[in-house]
Amino acid sequence: MASDDIRRLESRIDELISVVEKLRNENHQLHNQHSTLTDRHARLAEKTKLARERIETMIGRLKALERSEP
């Protein structure tokens, strides 16, 4: 191989290493975002469940009040 070919190959390998490092960092960030969003979703689902239960309880109390009125 000529020395120009070797330099081009080295340059291309350096570029590929940079791309791999960039993709690794991006992948790490995406995993962190996914974890954060999964946790947030779980908290919101729990809040929604609690709100639904409270509303159903209030509706039940209102219906009981309606039935008890003359």
Please report the pLDDT score of residue 1 as a whole number: 61
Averaged pLDDT for residues 12-38? 98
Residue at 13 is within a domain: no
Residue at 48 is within a domain: yes
Cut 0.75: pTM above it: no
Residue 9: partners with Cβ closer than 8 Å, 6 or more residues away: 1
Across the chain, the runs of DSSP E, i.e. the strands, are none
Q: How many domains does the chain have?
A: 1
Domain that holds residue 52: 22-70
Residue at 1 is within a domain: no
Cα–Cα distance for residue pair 50/59, rounded to 1 Å: 14
Cα–Cα distance for residue pair 27/21, rounded to 1 Å: 10
Contacts 24+ apart (CB under 8 A), 34-39: none
Please report the pLDDT score of residue 31 as a whole number: 98
Please report, in angstroms and rounded to a whole number, the separation of the first and last CA atoms in the chain. Answer: 102
